Structure 1
Amino acid sequence: MTIFKTHLLQGSLPQSWRGIASAALLASTLLAGVNAQASTVTVVMQSGLRVMDPILTTAFLTRDHGYMIYDTLLGVDADFKIHPQMASWTVSDDNKTYTFTLREGLKWHDGAPVKAEDCVASIKRWASVDSTGQVLMPMVADIAVIDDKQFEVKLKEPTTLLLEGLSKLSSRPAFMMPKRIAQTSSATPITEYIGSGPFKFVTSEFKPGLKVVYEKNTDYVPRSEKSSWTSGGKTVKVDRVEWIGMPDQMTALNALQNGEVDFIQQVPFDLLPLVEGRDDIKVSVLDKLGAWTYFRFNHLYPPFDNKLVRQAAMAAVAQEDVLKALVGNPDYYKTCPAVMGCGNPNANNYGADWIVPAKIEKAQALLKEAKYDGTPVVLLQPTDIAMLSAQPVVIGAALRKAGFKVDMKPMDWQTVVTQQSNQKAPSEGGWNIFSTYSILATSGDPFGNTTLAASGRKSWAGWPDVPEIEALRLKYAKSVDPAERKEIAAQIQKLAIDEGVVMPLGQFSIPAAYSTKLSGVMESPVTVFWNIEKADK
């Protein structure tokens, strides 16, 4: 980095190298402030953190931030079993009344005790926007505080959705916050970041998009059970975790190789050979179930307010083309038409004949039938995350080949995150298509899978309005029969494909890379930093 810095300041680098050099200089400036103690773990996450409210967005980075400083009432282990986390529960004989009891020793980061009223307020804020919570709350007769340690949820009818929702891994987990913060409208970002979780957010060191610092919460009392996914003991064994923003992936890998950072959350597939086989670096897929990638239409405005046009766009894109551009190595990907994930109990192949391969002639015929008039398609294009930058390029090329007019809008991912909720017309700064990915661990049912909510403007970004899907989701929530649930899921798959609610683009696994000085790195669908130790050498 010193050589780059000298030549950059002297203006003697070739123009083509100056972008890399600038990134290296930025990285060296940030790393200069990193605490050099062995008990500091320095991390490069998928992008720089700017959106801080984990209830306001479904973005994975904000979710990961949430797991650092907040805790959840319930947790899920690697066998998908639900366990007490902040609270235990009992249920009445008729399965309609759940009583939750907070465990001893829970404190907010400002020193105040965690109370039942905080949890009730947090549940209500989460449920007002979450795809699971929105279906759950009409099934709730009452939610009330009993005393400081207990609260009660009375259901109108039995459902498994209460425990499933409160233990939700992603994307939005039901994080608990102090009542004064949780009473913030779910449409308004919170401005105070106080939780009861294993780390504390260090406000004074926060540099949006560049640096986030978390310190060990010395008041946190871990559970005694073995840690698994989001359940069990969240034991912090380092003093600090620092997230350093490095938009240039090569700079990040160089920093890992030089010992300047300890952990890279996502390694671009084309750069894997640089770190594979090294004695001082471990490359590992920590989420063994993997992820699926997809794109979403804005159903509110032309041209995708027309179902035929949505189907045309879906028929135009080949999954294999997307996966080759995104991953390249077939050891890390496979095509899949299932909106709830191939390999999951609700997997279904409906639509495979025209949404896995490209069907350009079908797309062109559908556009003709729909009388597509050349309305531009505004396609959001994140440029700073390797796992998200390839999809829009391939999608855009395929749409043009089918006859669409496409307007690519390059921006960083955190800007895409803020744009997702923009319901203005594309001509007024809105959008028509964006692509992203979700973890398969939470996509296997119609509630954990955020893309399947279809209640119009109350739904997640894209705002599909398909009452039949909403009726089926409610039916699924009320069912306790696995065979019946599978049949309901099959009906939802068909509607989701036919109505263009979501376009699956295939499945893949994401490798992480980290220094062998780290031990205790957990395999989990979400990136967590409890239980990690760092050796001096």
Structure 2
Amino acid sequence: MMQTYGRFFRHARALLCAAAVMVPMAGHSVAQAETLRAVMQSGLRVMDPVLSTAFLTRNHGYMIYDTLLGVDSDFKVQPQMASWTVSEDGKLYTFTLRDGLKWHDGEPVTAEDAVVSLKRWAEVDTTGQALMTMVEGIDAVDDKSFEIKLSQPTTLVLSGLSKLSSRPAFIMPKRIAETPSSEPITEFVGSGPFKFVEAEFQPGISVVYEKNEDYVPRDEPSSWTAGGKVVNVDRVEWVTMPDQMTAINALQNGEVDFIQEVPFDLLPLVEAADGIKAEVMDELGAWTYFRMNHLYPPFDNKLVRQAAMAAVGQEDVLKLLVGNPDFYQTCGAVMGCGNPNGDEYGAEWVVNSDIERAQSLLKEAGYDGTPVVLLQPTDIAMLAAQPIVLGDALRKAGFTVEMKTMDWQTVVTQQGNQNAPSEGGWNIFSTYSILATSGDPFGNTTLSTAGRSSWAGWPDVPEIEALRLDYARAATPEEQKEIAVKIQKLAIDEGVVGPLGQFRIPAAYSTEWTGFPKAPVTLFWNVQKTAE
């Protein structure tokens, strides 16, 4: 079977290479500008970082927007756009914007901008939704300060406003943030270190950012999303190259400077090349998983969800996805092995493939052969392997499987489709998330279980929702750990998410450049060209 998978990927790579979209480099008019060219995981099409949890949309957000608070490499919340004070009873937070904040159109950033932005974010984000159950009001005090009044103390104020991913609480101008949270924004003006160059935007092909000359970095050293965001280049261009071999050739030839994700099977080529460095930027790494649609058959049945989880073996996924065991490990913990809240309840049947158990569960559930529509992205190496292994394992267990191939940005738009699979919806998709933000039940998007208002898959598990609020109110890490263990058990038993293991992804860049931030998200401030 592994040989079959290998032949599939070699054939797919050949087809992609033949069809690769070669993106023209910057025009002669900007030839003198200091330009960093990066090949990202896919082409940018989804632009609203509030309505999408896609990593690429999040990365776009960090380019042009800023956040009130940041998180450093010690997981400590730090001031970014604003500082804060807390009342003695923990029920009143007062935030004060720092000096020098301007929107890209030259207007000053105001507290009212922040208030409206936070309210829009909180309508959609799972952390924000939980926080708002304890908020009595978010109101501007004056042009530079605003208050969040709580009905009870909670850790969600700081953790929510500083969250790294997905769906960070980016601050936008009031006129843009007033866009209903059910509709995507159509204007992309921020106060962050880069400006979006709309005139040069080619959806899915290329996106250009220019240095924001008015941006005033903080004085503190840069650390993850905290500290000084110093821009040392004039332009950053994201270019799309569907085939990674084409991207590596472009890096070797000096046509691009950075590749966000290097497929593991091509890593030896990068490591052997002169003038190129391969490096894992996110040392904590990621976990990959699959999500089932709880709204429609067959996964509206808990036993069928458990059957799918029992059928798939993590080692099969990780061998095909990564190959090199130095970069991966199996793990049954929904909140991450190595994280303080990591618990491996259920690992004995979700880590290793157990086809007999899966078949028995399907028989008990009365599965009638209802087709399972499995979404398969074809353009991202880090997401292409999982659906193949999933489909094979599910068929062995007795599922009827229909694969729907598409690019990742189409999968992103499909994720929110709540129509029945027979009407253009889906039953299963797989993706991955960073471990740095998956270690608690709010940063971990998969643990949103409020039915149709939760994240894609729409599980309805009121017990988990209640425990999440208990977690937010807990006074000590020990209490939070006890709650996290209960959430792990429910998440596995209810089939909320199917863990597929953990891995670290290497990036590659020209040694003509230094300063790429080592962080759980891909950032481009502080990068600079080495001296001649």
Task: Kindly provide the CA deviation profile for residues 214-256 of structure 1, in whole angstroms up to 9, marking residues without a partner as x.
Answer: 0000000000000000000000000000000111111100000
1:376 paired residue number: 371
Partner of 1:43: 38
Q: Distance in 2 between matches of 1:480 and 1:397?
A: 45
Q: Determine the C-alpha separation between the residues in 1 that align with 2:40 and 2:222.
A: 22
Contact 1:74–1:167, Cα closer than 8 Å, also in 2: yes
2:475 equivalent to 1:480: yes
| Whole-angstrom CA distance in 2 between matches of 1:71 and 1:203 | 19
- Residue deviations 1:24-64, cap 9 Å, x none? xx32x422648544610000000000000000000000000
From 6, 20, 24, the equivalent of 2:17 is 20
| CA positional deviation for 1:499 | 0.1
Q: Which residue of 2 aligns with 1:128?
A: 123
Offset of residue 404 of structure 1: 0.1
Amino acid corresponding to residue 503 of structure 1 in structure 2: G
Amino acid across the alignment from 2:349? W
> Equivalent residue for 2:102?
107
1:213 to 208, 214, 222: 208
Counterpart pick for 1:202 among 172, 197, 200: 197
Name the TM-score, length of structure 2 as normaliser. Answer: 0.96
- Structure 1 counterpart SS, 2:85: strand
Does the C-alpha gap of structure 1 residues 508 and 16 become closer, same or farther in structure 2, counting only changes over 3 Å?
A: closer
Q: Which residue of 1 aligns with 2:509?
A: 514
Q: Distance in 2 between matches of 1:464 and 1:56?
A: 19
Name the CA shift for 1:150/1:32 in 2 (closer, same or farther; >3 Å).
Answer: closer
Q: How many Å separate the matches in 1 of 2:168 and 2:400?
A: 38
Which one of the candidate residues 17, 24, 28 is aligned to 1:30? Answer: 24
Give 2:150's aligned amino acid.
L
State yes or no: 1:302 paired with 2:297: yes
Seen in structure 2, the aligned counterparts of structure 1 residues 387 and 17 have a Cα distance that, compared at 3 Å, is closer
Calculate the aligned-residue CA RMSD, in Å: 1.3
Deviations 1:449-482 (A, max 9, x none): 0000100001000000000000000000001211
CA spacing shift, 1:18–1:348, aligned 2, 3 Å: closer
- Distance in 1 between residues matched to 2:166 and 2:110, nearest whole Å: 25
In 1, the alpha carbon distance for the partners of 2:17 and 2:339 equals 42
2:24 is paired with a residue of what secondary structure?
Answer: helix
Aligned position for 1:413: 408
- The answer to whether the aligner puts 1:280 opposite 2:275 as a matched pair is yes
Q: 1:431 aligns with which of 423, 426, 429?
A: 426
Whether contact under 8 Å (1:168, 1:448) holds in the other structure is yes
Displacement of 1:279 in angstroms is 3.4
Q: What does 1:265-276 align with in structure 2 at a 5 Å threshold? A: 265-276=260-271
Dislocated runs of 4+, deviation >4 Å: 15-19
Q: Distance in 2 between matches of 1:406 and 1:240?
A: 45
1:160-198 CA-to-partner distances (Å, cap 9, x unmatched) read 110100000000100000011101111101000000000
| Counterpart-to-counterpart distance in 1, 2:87 and 2:464 | 31
Pairwise CA distance, 1:16: 10
* Alpha-carbon distance between aligned partners in 1 of 2:137 and 2:413, rounded to the nearest angstrom: 33
Match of 1:271, as an amino acid?
A: L
Partner in structure 2 of residue 64 of structure 1? 59
Q: What's 1:455 paired with?
A: 450
Shift in Å, 1:83: 0.5
Question: Does 1:292 find its partner at 2:294?
Answer: no
Q: 2:166 aligns with which of 148, 168, 171?
A: 171
Q: Distance in 2 between matches of 1:18 and 1:144?
A: 55
Residue type at the aligned position of 1:20? C
- Distance verdict in 2 for CA 1:17–1:482, change over 3 Å: closer
Distance 1:438 1:126 in 2: 20
- What's the offset of the Cα at 1:536? 6.5
Equivalent residue number for residue 191 of structure 1: 186
**C-alpha distance in 1 between matches for 2:475 and 2:62:** 30
Q: Secondary structure of 1:30's partner?
A: coil
Letter in 2 for 1:199: F
Separation in structure 2 between the aligned mates of residue 125 and residue 328 of structure 1, nearest angstrom: 42
Q: Percent identity of the aligned residues?
A: 75
Q: Is the 8 A contact 1:125 1:186 kept in 2?
A: yes
Q: Which runs of 5+ in 1 are unaligned?
A: 1-14
User: Would the aligned equivalents of 1:30 and 1:211 in 2 still touch at CA under 8 Å?
Assistant: no
The partner residue of 1:53 within 31, 48, 52 is 48
- Match for residue 11 of structure 1? none
Q: Does 1:85 align with 2:63?
A: no
Aligned equivalent of 1:261: 256
Q: How far did 1:278 drift?
A: 2.9
TM-score for both structures, normalised by structure 1 = 0.95
Give distance in 1, aligned partners of 2:457 and 2:176: 28
Aligned partners of 2:101 and 2:215 also within 8 Å: yes
Q: Structure 1 residue 277: deviation in Å?
A: 3.3
- The residue matched to 1:31 in structure 2 has which SS? coil
Q: Structure 1 residues 487 and 17, CA, compared in 2 at 3 Å: closer, same or farther?
A: closer
Q: Is 2:16–2:242's contact at 8 Å kept on the other side of the alignment?
A: no
Structure 2 residue 388 is the aligned partner of structure 1 residue 393: yes
Greater alpha carbon shift after TM alignment, 225-234 vs 272-281: 272-281
> CA 1:418–1:19 in 2, change beyond 3 Å: closer, same or farther?
closer
How far has the Cα of 1:284 moved from its partner? 0.2
Residues in 2 aligned to 1:99 and 1:37: alpha-carbon distance in whole angstroms: 45
SS in 1 for 2:294: coil
Shift of 1:532: 0.4
Q: Is there any run of 5+ residues in structure 2 with no aligned partner, and where?
A: 1-11
Q: Does the aligned pair in 2 maintain the 1:38–1:535 contact within 8 Å?
A: no
Q: Is the 8 A contact 1:91 1:97 kept in 2?
A: yes
Aligned to 2:226: 231
1:6 is aligned to none
Distance change >3 Å, CA 369–CA 17, structure 1 → 2: closer
Residue 18 of structure 1 and its aligned partner are, at CA, apart by 7.3
Q: Is the 8 A contact 1:38 1:534 kept in 2?
A: no
Indicate the residue corresponding to 2:93 in structure 1. 98
Amino acid at match of 2:44: L
Give the C-alpha shift of residue 95 in structure 1.
1.0
Q: Tell me the number of residue pairs that the alignment of Structure 1 and Structure 2 aligns.
A: 520
8 Å contact 1:213–1:243 — kept in the other structure?
A: yes
Q: Provide the C-alpha distance between the structure 1 equivalents of 2:128 and 2:15, rounded to a whole number of angstroms.
A: 49
Residue type of the alignment partner of 1:221? V
Look up the equivalent residue of 1:30 and give its one-letter code.
Answer: P
Q: Which amino acid in structure 2 is aligned with residue 58 of structure 1?
A: T
1:295·1:434 contact (CA, 8 Å) conserved in 2?
A: yes
Q: Which amino acid aligns with 2:137?
A: D
